Amino acid sequence: MQLLHYMDPELAAAIEGEKARQNLTIELIASENFVPEVILEAQGSVLTNKYAEGYPGKRYHGGCRFVDVVESLAIERAKALFGAEHANVQPHSGVNANLAVFLAVLNPGDTILGMDLRHGGHLSHGSKANISGKFFVTEGYGVNRETGCLDYDEVADIARRVRPRLLIAGASAYPRTLDFPRLAAVAREVGAYFLVDMAHIAGLVAAGVHPSPVPHADFVTFTTTKTLRGARGGVILCRKEFAAAVDKAIFPGIQGGPIPQIMAGKALTFKLAATEAFREYARRVTACAAALAQRLQERGFALVSGGTDNHLFLVDLRNTSLTGREAEMRLEKVGITVNMNLIPFDPRKPTETSGIRVGTAGVASRGFSVADVEIVGDIMARMLAPEEPGEDEQARLREQVLELCLAHPLYMSRSELAASPFLGTDILGIGGKSA
């Protein structure tokens, strides 16, 4: 950063500010995480200078000797980690990975069936606002109103009625284990291809903490960013028979050249995810989610489906006086970051919501224990109480948040963080002093 400070102090200050914000707040956004420093190194490498359209050994640019090594490492490691027959590591994002699967096996106007965005599905699984909802006829399935869980018989009934060409499983806000064999059977019965977007749970799958969709699905897409704790980008796994179609769909179908430094980051992500240290982290992610969920329930909060099996849960705020947006803003005042989230059958709009989504991958990565997240749960419960705590109490709660953050620094030592010029400044950007 020294050169950047000299060349562009304004930009450098924003990056330093973000590092301080990450350090001095508790990140509970379920799709976020903190990559190991070595991933930053790979992603910031000279590979950024290289064009490499095509695939290893079959490029449209010269000079790809080393980029071929990088991409081949990423492909082979992805296949080994997840037991897949084929991997494409070029998608720039999870949405692109899904789009490429559509392009590989669908025609515009075909029917796709995915989990409704309003019940926890993802935008790219057929939302009308997304290209997936504009080019295809989209049908949705949701959770049961009573249980908050997927009703697989109902999914099967919908599939029999709408006869999709592609059945999509996977979610951005579903706290329960997905039954991939059951969904694969539904797809088989109606003659649909089966795609699992495991973006949120890829790290849990790699660690064996969530069952793998790979043996059951034709295609598995994911991002390397979330529970997998790695590079920012997408990946497609598929059966060998779809390999050529998938590769063609990514390039030249929807992308030009890959991003070599990100493929390097992905190669490293897969190597790290195959270690015992990663499996320990993944177990802690789910243990922390379960503990935080339980602490909030003990403090009177309702959770969609009554709890969690994975890295996230949804707090149903309808028995409180707060909307999701208000809850998000209250927590931010003491340095806890979550996102407002629709709950299933939410009476409110997506810009207001009746819920918040809470995830523990980020805190587990920075070393929080179950005991730490129980303290976080108590702070959250106080901040979300019917009567907002007064300024003095908020300052005390913010102090508790900072103590936890200082005990688990990111990208710097504890003493460096303790001496940070940002400590005591308005790092939260909400006007008041943060410490």
Pick the catalytic residue from 79, 118, 232, 239. Answer: 232
Site for ligand DSN in 161-180 (CB under 6 A): 172
Instruction: Figure out which of the listed residues 22, 23, 25, 31 binds ligand DSN, where binding follows CB under 6 A.
Output: 31
Nearer to ligand DSN, 73 or 171 (CB): 171
119 binds ligand DSN (CB under 6 A): no
Place of tokens 């490691």: 77
End-to-end CA gap in the chain: 26
Taking the complex as a whole, the smallest distance from the CB of residue 31 to ligand DSN amounts, in Å, to 3
122 binds ligand DSN (CB under 6 A): yes
Cα(318)–Cα(261) distance, integer angstroms: 45
- 32 is an active site residue: no
3 C-beta neighbours (distance < 10 Å), count: 8
Taking the complex as a whole, the smallest distance from the CB of residue 250 to ligand DSN amounts, in Å, to 18
Helices 324-332, 370-383: inter-axial angle, 10-degree rounding: 110
Nearer to ligand DSN, 172 or 420 (CB): 172
Q: Which residues pair with 340 in a beta bridge?
A: 356
Strands (E), 32-100: 54-55, 58-59, 86-88
Nearer to ligand DSN, 201 or 263 (CB): 201
Burial pattern 19-58, b for ≥16 Cβ within 10 A else e, equals bbbbbbbbbbbbbbbbbbeebeebbeeebeebbbbbbbee
Nearer to ligand DSN, 237 or 338 (CB): 338
Cα(267)–Cα(282) distance, integer angstroms: 19
Place of tokens 């929080």: 368
229 binds ligand DSN (CB under 6 A): no
- 193 is an active site residue: no
- 232 is an active site residue: yes
DSSP labels, 284-352: HHHHHHHHHHHHHHHTT-EEGGGS-SSSEEEEEGGGSS--HHHHHHHHHTTTEE-EEEPPTT-SS-TTT
CB burial of residue 400 (10 Å; 0-12, 13-18, 19+): middle
Nearer to ligand DSN, 127 or 420 (CB): 127
- 318 is an active site residue: no
- Interaction pattern, residues 288-327, with ligand DSN; x per rule: CB under 6 A: ----------------------------------------
- 138 is an active site residue: no
- 197 is an active site residue: yes
Taking the complex as a whole, the smallest distance from the CB of residue 213 to ligand DSN amounts, in Å, to 17
Pick the catalytic residue from 16, 19, 50, 51. Answer: 51
Nearer to ligand DSN, 354 or 434 (CB): 354
Residues that bind ligand DSN (CB under 6 A): 31, 94, 122, 172
Catalytically active residues are: 51, 53, 197, 223, 226, 232
